[in-house]
């Protein structure tokens, strides 16, 4: 990949700004040298998540399962049910035992909190690589 490649758009949804910042800090501007830069779309409310998905410009979404009033697990289920070519979704769960809820939501992956930056980066890079043409 060249530096001039179109940036990948990653939506980060949480009502908690510190969770959004933690995700962005963990992934950085370029989570892997084989991928283009990442442009983050920070979102605090579910209607704006839906608006961004409907626009069709998101390459991957990271949704906070603990967000209120609309949790990321329910939002993931809604997007997977309503968007024909839904981008990959990573759900942040409150604990590892909640991974089954992410499976129910049809999220592509789940990462439990507290966030391990290495696990999050590996998960996101794997999903982005699968969706980026060589």
CATH number at residue 100: 3.40.50.2300
What's the chain's average pLDDT?
92
Could you tell me if residue 35 is inside a domain? yes
How far apart, in whole angstroms, are the C-alpha atoms of residue 17 and residue 19?
A: 5
Output the pLDDT for position 4. Answer: 59
> What is the arithmetic mean of pLDDT over 28-53?
96
Q: Is residue 106 part of a domain?
A: yes
Q: Count Cα neighbours of 59 within 13 Å in the Cβ-side half-sphere.
A: 21
Burial class from Cβ neighbours inside 10 Å (0-12, 13-18, 19+) for residue 47 reads exposed
Quick check: is 129 in a domain? Answer: no
Residue 22 domain boundaries: 8-116
Q: What is the mean pLDDT of residues 97-110?
A: 90
On whether the pTM is more than 0.75, the answer is yes
The total of structural domains in the chain comes to: 1
Assigned domain for 123 exists: no
Q: What is the pLDDT of residue 132?
A: 55
Mean pLDDT for the stretch of residues 81-95: 94
What is the pLDDT, as a whole number, of residue 85?
92
């Amino acid at each position: 990949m060249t530096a001039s490649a179109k940036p990948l758009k990653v939506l980060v949804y949480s009502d908690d700004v510190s969770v959004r910042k933690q995700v962005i800090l963990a992934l950085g501007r370029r989570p892997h040298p084989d991928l283009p830069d990442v442009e983050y779309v920070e979102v605090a409310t579910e209607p704006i998540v839906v608006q961004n998905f409907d626009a069709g410009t998101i390459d991957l979404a990271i949704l906070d399962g603990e967000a209120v009033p609309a949790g990321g697990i329910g939002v993931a289920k809604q997007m997977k049910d309503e968007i024909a070519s839904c981008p990959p979704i990573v759900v942040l769960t409150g604990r590892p035992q909640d991974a089954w809820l992410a499976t129910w939501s049809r999220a592509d992956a789940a990462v439990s909190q507290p966030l391990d930056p290495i696990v999050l980066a590996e998960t996101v890079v794997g999903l982005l690589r699968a969706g980026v043409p060589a």
